[in-house]
Structure 1
Amino acid sequence: MSTTDQQPAYGIRSLFHRKWLGATLLLGAGVGLEALEFYVTASLMPSMVRDIGGLGLLAWTTSLFVAALVLGGVAIVIRPAGVTLRQVYVIGTLIFALGCLIVGLAPSMVVVLIGRFVQGFGAGLLVTLAYSFIRFVYPEGMQNAASAFYSALWGVSTLLGPTLGGWFAHDSAWRWAFFILIPLAVLMALLAPYFLPPGEDEREKQALPGIQILLILAGILTMSYAGNVEGTVMRIALVMGGIASLVALVLCERRSESRLLPRLATVFTHPLAQAYLAMFLLIIGLNSDIYIPYFLQTMHATPPLVAGYIVALVATGWAVAGMWTASWQGERARRAILFGPIVLFASMTCLAFAISRDNPHADIGILTAVCILLFGMGVGIGLGWAHLVSMVMTLSEGPEADKATAAINLVPSLAAAFGSAIAGVIANSAGLVTPGGIEGGMTAAFWLYALTSISGVLALLTVVPLLRRKTS
């Protein structure tokens, strides 16, 4: 990182200089649309099921969205030769708008699933493009600020999602939560030629990496579905199937001439592979937060809306830490990367004791401790995330830059699917369903966070050798 040590320090404010303001707003809007739609849809699903049915298909609304999200990121790598990033941005906004229209008009849950897949594909294009455009829009050294800004948008969306969902939750008003985004997406498509650079195609010509794409989709769908089945044996089988898909993906990437990832991304002694692995491990630990609302409502007498806002503290901590460290460079940046996993591990370990209690009177002291620890989990991710993203971009310039930025979206999505499935296996095996209730919830909560906190230790063991190497 010796080269970045000499670069000027750019903070979040730099992104809003009039020279880059238009591009910043358009790229940020792409990330914001995906994040907001994810949380709004999650909060609206009960209303949608009451209106059009399809409870048995509910789990697939998220699984298909995540799979399409990853596929959208991959599409940037395999797009036709000569197609610029700006053209892809326009296509992505229009595809997202089409997905919103399909969901808004859906007469059944099957049509909703089609719309969610279309939405996810468009969103995957837009989120990946936010990172792909950084090297074309901003001067060198602004990767940290841009990545921190995108993380902050996720935090804001986490807070706004339940509120907006509540506005449209009555009768069939949920459809308007999708309709209102269509004109915004179309406006983004119209403004793109004026505020975004072309983003010329710099890739080397290669054949379609079809096997890797199938392995990614198989892994995502298998792991996502594992988090939604009841039987522990079936969960474990699906998790093992997902792991097998991931191992096969790595082996295929190493041997194939047509790759989705940068050439060195699967060489685990190289800093690029270590940076991706650290990101993967951090997100795996973070996804244990999917059970927080249930634990809060069951054991801590917390109303559903309040529980939703409490779990949003994880994203808030990520956003705050990201903005705080965005302008750090050199030794300070390395320390941020190093201390992130430590904070994550400490927060999750303490949370295992704090949340696994029978608190029927919603004791404010216990809930305050839970809130602080959830915020700490987010801080653990946010401290070094932008710097890891910046490192990935620095290590993969030229023809492989598109692959590197696509993987910034791919790696967390894979980790989210794995993390959710692993959390489901641990929670169910520890008593969440049997014996269930307060007793089962307490046992499940303790072992869930005690065991998933290990991901923080593994991430620390990954970043230590990474930071010892020069990445200039």
Structure 2
Amino acid sequence: MIALAIRLDTRAAQPILPSAAFARGPVAAGLLMVLTLSIATMPFTVYAPLIMELLHGVGPLAVGYIMATESVAWTVAALAVAGAGPRHEPWLIVGGALVIATGVAGLAFTVPAGPMALIVIFAVMQGLGFGLSWAFIARRVVQAVSEAERPLASAVIPTTQLMGYAVGAAAAGIIANSLGMGDAPTAAVAQVIGTWLFILMLPIAAIGVAAAWRLSRE
């Protein structure tokens, strides 16, 4: 359905995607980075609260605080690098992607096994990585298109992020339910899901890192 929507968009009189979205270059690399890293980080938001409650006895309020730290890390990182110049841009783009991928990898081990302090650290890394790189992804994508398409390129970045979150949530649901989460979940089931849910996201995160490297070279 997504492929059909994209095909229809390419033929539309007023498309959502810029013309360079599927051509080799910074626009495609930037959108691919946003899409894949959004997919890879979404499982934590969807299933970590339930898994942490089953395995670590963490209540809803504490889970809410943990989720909030990820958003706060994004904001703090974005403010910290707001004044970075063009010389630092490539490093922040690649570094942000690597921080996100490290966070996903760390969650594969800490969500099922703990301790909670490490879960918080790796969750924070997911937000931190986006905060470090987000503004510079947007800048490179927007600067790579014509003046007429710049509003389009600017708007498509958050749209791509939301698409990634939707796909990531769907993928997480498929993985978790295939491993038994659709039944009455137990601690044993939650431990298996807590491992595989994040391990299976690592190849997608790796694509995001590769796209970030490509974007940094453009």
Tell whether the structures are fold-level matches, with TM greater than 0.5: yes
From 68, 71, 75, give the equivalent of 1:319: 75
From 29, 32, 36, give the equivalent of 1:274: 29
From 65, 69, 94, give the equivalent of 1:338: 94
Q: Does 1:446 align with 2:195?
A: yes
Instruction: State the partner residue of 1:113.
Output: none
What is the correspondence of 1:114-263 to structure 2 with a 5 Å cutoff? 245-263=1-19
CA distance in 1, matches of 2:103, 2:18: 33
CA distance in 1, matches of 2:69, 2:176: 22
Q: Does 1:368 align with 2:117?
A: yes
The structure number with the bigger radius of gyration is 1
Q: Does 1:462 align with 2:211?
A: yes
Q: Is the 8 A contact 1:293 1:304 kept in 2?
A: yes
Cα deviation for residue 328 of structure 1 reads 1.2
Q: Does 1:285 align with 2:40?
A: yes
From 144, 155, 179, give the equivalent of 1:406: 155
Cα deviation for residue 351 of structure 1 reads 1.2
CA distance in 1, matches of 2:85, 2:179: 43
From 102, 110, 134, give the equivalent of 1:354: 110
Q: Is the 8 A contact 2:97 2:209 kept in 1?
A: yes
Cα deviation for residue 384 of structure 1 reads 0.8
Aligned-partner residue type, residue 444 of structure 1: I
Instruction: State the partner residue of 2:181.
Output: 432
From 396, 400, 425, give the equivalent of 2:145: 396
CA distance in 2, matches of 1:261, 1:433: 36
Cα deviation for residue 397 of structure 1 reads 4.7
Cα deviation for residue 434 of structure 1 reads 4.3
CA distance in 2, matches of 1:431, 1:345: 26
Cα deviation for residue 264 of structure 1 reads 1.2
From 140, 155, 165, give the equivalent of 1:416: 165
Aligned identity (percent) is 25
Instruction: State the partner residue of 1:329.
Output: 85
Q: Does 1:295 align with 2:51?
A: yes
From 51, 66, 75, give the equivalent of 1:310: 66
Structure of higher RCO (CA pairs closer than 8 Å, 6+ residues apart): 2
Q: Is the 8 A contact 2:99 2:128 kept in 1?
A: yes
Q: Is the 8 A contact 1:283 1:416 kept in 2?
A: yes
CA distance in 1, matches of 2:167, 2:95: 24
CA distance in 1, matches of 2:148, 2:196: 45
Tell me the SS of whatever aligns to 2:200: helix
Cα distance 1:407–1:257, how it changes in 2: closer, same or farther (>3 A)? same
Q: Is the 8 A contact 1:349 1:449 kept in 2?
A: yes
CA distance in 2, matches of 1:307, 1:296: 8
CA distance in 1, matches of 2:174, 2:182: 11
Cα deviation for residue 443 of structure 1 reads 0.4
Aligned-partner residue type, residue 274 of structure 1: A
Q: Is the 8 A contact 2:90 2:217 kept in 1?
A: no
CA distance in 2, matches of 1:428, 1:449: 14
Give ranges in structure 2 of 5+ residues lacking alignment: none
Mean CA deviation greater in 316-325 or 390-399:
390-399
RMSD: 1.8
CA offset digits 1:17-75 (Å, max 9, x no partner): xxxxxxxxxxxxxxxxxxxxxxxxxxxxxxxxxxxxxxxxxxxxxxxxxxxxxxxxxxx
Cα deviation for residue 393 of structure 1 reads 2.2
CA distance in 2, matches of 1:427, 1:318: 27
Cα deviation for residue 311 of structure 1 reads 1.8
CA distance in 2, matches of 1:343, 1:398: 32
CA offset digits 1:83-113 (Å, max 9, x no partner): xxxxxxxxxxxxxxxxxxxxxxxxxxxxxxx
**Paired positions, count:** 217
Tell me the SS of whatever aligns to 2:125: helix
Cα deviation for residue 255 of structure 1 reads 4.3
Q: Is the 8 A contact 1:253 1:266 kept in 2?
A: no
Cα distance 1:315–1:411, how it changes in 2: closer, same or farther (>3 A)? same
Instruction: State the partner residue of 1:53.
Output: none
Q: TM-score, normalised by structure 2?
A: 0.91
What is the correspondence of 1:48-87 to structure 2 with a 5 Å cutoff? none
Q: Is the 8 A contact 1:344 1:453 kept in 2?
A: no
Cα distance 1:256–1:303, how it changes in 2: closer, same or farther (>3 A)? closer
